[in-house]
Amino acid sequence: MKKIEGFESEKIIVLPTYQLEQIVAHPLGRMLYVTDIGFFPRARYHYRERPEGCDTFILIYCATGQGKVSIGGVSHGLNERQLIVIPADTPHSYWTETEHPWTIYWLHFKGERAENYSALLKGGAGPLTLGAQDSEKFIALFHQCYDLLSASAYSASHRILAMQTAAYAMSLLSIVPEREDEERAKSYIESAIHLMNLKLEETLTLDEIARYTQISRQHLNHLFKSSVGFSPIDYYLRLKIRRASQLLDLTTLSIKEICHELGFKDPYYFSRLFRKIMGVAPSEYRKKLKG
């Protein structure tokens, strides 16, 4: 079975031409405006196919259940708390899984900045996964937009407010990809630092750290300098010196023994590095009262 619409408790609004013309005539409205908006709960057998695409961008947010979205011949799974944008004029189809029918919030949008908003949400590139808080915010803003278009359909100012609400919702979601990039960068950095701590008594090279984190030397170097403030090797040396400080404080090992314990072959280099990072020579550091 395939159904285009007709789901229990569904909500749908299609703005008439005269209202769209009024919106486009407004300097704020023409930037981004919604043409259709709807909510399909547990939409069993939901299916839609447009071989020629359509003249609007389409945003689909899957709150629960599962489905598929094909964009330009490339199929994407759409699962719970995932959102996808289908670019305008692009052949597409989408359908729900019969075992776990999706509950979706969707809207069609156009405007002078529609393509920019689509790009913010990686339009055509695949789904974005929202966290619980992002999901709640989006659904709340969706209902605000829907209610403004439903309860105050006669009011031009309310329609403009509805469009601004939709624009705000999409702008809010645009930070999700950035957050994903930040989380990936954080995982690479933490992985590299984990290796450094395991190998404090050895000597690591940048190539060895890059292989461990499975990214290029250049990318790893960029992540460390932008997030940590030092190159990976500089940070590794600082971890060694931090450990040297602990050994000076907590053990009776000689400076030479500590130097060799931490993989330094040249005690003079070790002492110069210690002074550069800690501000004093190892012997002076040991004499200072702590605590």
| Last residue within a domain, chosen from 173, 197, 217 | 173
Indicate if 167 and 62 belong to the same structural domain.
yes
> Would you say residue 226 lies in a domain?
yes
Is the same domain home to 158 and 75?
yes
What residues contact 289, with CB distance under 8 A and at least 6 apart?
none
Q: Are 110 and 163 in contact (CB under 8 A)?
A: no
2 in any annotated domain: no
Q: 78 near 60, Cβ under 8 Å?
A: yes
Q: Which residues contact 46 (CB under 8 A, 6 or more apart)?
A: 3, 4, 7, 40, 67, 94, 95, 96, 101, 102, 104
Closest CA to 70 of 106, 36, 95: 95
The whole-angstrom separation of Cα 263 and Cα 199 is 9
Does residue 4 form part of some domain?
no
pLDDT tens digits, one per residue of 4-38: 666 777 899 999 999 999 999 999 999 999 999 99
DSSP classification of residue 89: T
Please answer whether residues 72 and 126 qualify as being in contact, where contact means their C-beta atoms are separated by less than 8 angstroms.
Answer: no
What's this model's pTM, rounded to 2 decimal places? Answer: 0.65
Calpha distance 267→166 (Å, rounded): 64
- Our count of domains for the chain comes to 2
On whether residue 212 sits in a domain, the answer given is yes
Sheet of strand 67-71, all strands in order from the earlier edge strand to the far edge: 47-50, 92-96, 67-71, 74-78
Q: Which residue type, as a one-letter code, is found at position 186? A: K
Domain membership flag for residue 3: no
Domain that holds residue 214: 182-287
**Residue 5, in any domain of the structure:** no
Which of the four pLDDT bands, split at 50, 70 and 90, describes residue 3?
Answer: low
* Alpha carbons 44 and 87: distance in angstroms, whole number: 25
> Which 8-state DSSP code applies to residue 97?
-
Residues 161 and 194 in one domain: no
Residues 208 and 282 in one domain: yes
Tell me what pLDDT residue 60 has: 97
Per-residue pLDDT tens for 122-172?
888 899 998 888 899 999 999 999 999 998 767 889 999 999 999 999 998
pLDDT in tens, 261-279: 999 999 999 999 999 999 9
Which of 173, 201, 223 is the last residue before a domain boundary? 173
**CATH number of the domain encompassing residue 213:** 1.10.10.60
H helix runs in the chain, sequence order: 17-25, 114-120, 132-151, 156-173, 175-198, 206-213, 217-227, 232-250, 255-261, 267-278, 282-287
Q: What is the mean pLDDT of residues 203-230?
A: 94
